[in-house]
Amino acid sequence: MNLELLQNLTQAFGPSGYESEIRDVIRHAVTPLVDEVRVDPLGSLVAIKKGAGGGKRILLAAHMDEIGVMVTHVDKQGYLRFTRMGGVSPLTCIGGRVRFANGTLGVIYVEHREDRSKPPTLDQLFIDVGATGPDDAPVGVGETGVFARPLELQGDRLISKTLDDRIGCYVLISMLKELPPVKHDLFFVFSVQEEITLSGARTAAYTIDPDMAIAIDVTSTGDTPKALPMAVSLGKGPAIKVKDAGMVSHPEVRQLLITAAQKAGVPYQMEILQGGSTDAAAMQLVRAGVPSGCVSIPCRYVHSPSEMVAAPDVEHTVQLLLEAVRSG
């Protein structure tokens, strides 16, 4: 794996709606590999690789935004109150660190509670940025921050913040580096705002008007202690989505992905996700409808500051998708 690339992707700042820094990182990586790069009005990056002709218009999307926080109030002692940007849980916040766009680092902690038998709520948390009052607070209301955690490799496990979905962005860039000539016109979309509205993929798909769309994202696993039963495990291959809370995958796209995995000789799993969805849910609904599916990278501890994926699953996802666009 290209750990330098993944380091650059995971550590770039990019909460939903504020993706300019991560977009610049991705633009630098993909520009030499494609025929055209553009940024759409909402901020999604679209990289186009033209086919030999006689093929389809295939959209492959990975979202570049990450979960984070937004300051809602600075109290008289300089502590920040905040709201979530995406699926942030109070349970994974306490003791964590967040970094704001201007480089300010803050520590999340919880106020004293008389009843500690219940989990804290978001409004009981605060961020300490070392200020003594509102006048010397280095960030203010409306400013956004993201979790601060490094990328680590332990064995074949990758651990970092924002593997959801920078690992999907890594897969698309890796595809472009290995892509042979194909007949299809391929549109690689690095979408904005997936964590809050799915609006980036929706607007990009409307403009592209593809014949088929495939999202590349992460999914939860059922292989941790007392996990919700789920037939997806870390290290057993990419997961081909059947259904999630927002969509049912188009049967032809799902079968294309299964066949591609078999032809490529890579292990794969079938995914039914009971909560959450992906860009595919939005892309399938544009214009008259777009046959859509999703390839998911198994990920433990999704939407926490320390997400975990298996490097072989990532590499197998690249090989599956390369076969899919060759034969699709």
Which residue is associated with the tokens 């969805």? 277
Among 19, 143, 194, 271, the active-site one is 194
Cα 111 from Cα 191, distance rounded (Å): 36
Angle at 323 between CA 322 and CA 326, to 5 degrees: 90
Those residues whose C-beta lies under 8 Å from the C-beta of residue 183, and which sit 6 or more positions away, are 51, 52, 53, 54, 55
| Distance spanning both ends of the chain, measured CA to CA | 26
- Please confirm whether the linkage preceding 217 is cis (ω < 30° from 0): no
Alpha-carbon distance values, 159 to 167, 230, 305 (Å): 11, 21, 9
Residue 318, φ and ψ in degrees, nearest 5: -60, -45
Alpha helix ranges (H) inside 42-191: 163-178
Unique residue bearing structure tokens 């999340």: 108
Cα 309 to the center of its chain, rounded Å: 13
**In this structure, what token pair is assigned to residue 29?**
């990586």
The CA distance from 106 to 94, in Å, is 12
- Residue pair 306/149 in contact by the 8 Å Cβ criterion: yes
Q: Are 98 and 86 in contact (CB under 8 A)?
A: no
Residue type, 47: A
> In Å, how far are 62, 169, 177, 188 from 29, measured between CA atoms?
15, 11, 10, 13
Mark whether 315 is an active-site residue.
no
| 202: amino acid identity, one letter | R
CB 243 within 8 A of CB 323: no
Q: Give the tokens for residue 203.
A: 């607007």
Active site positions, annotated: 194
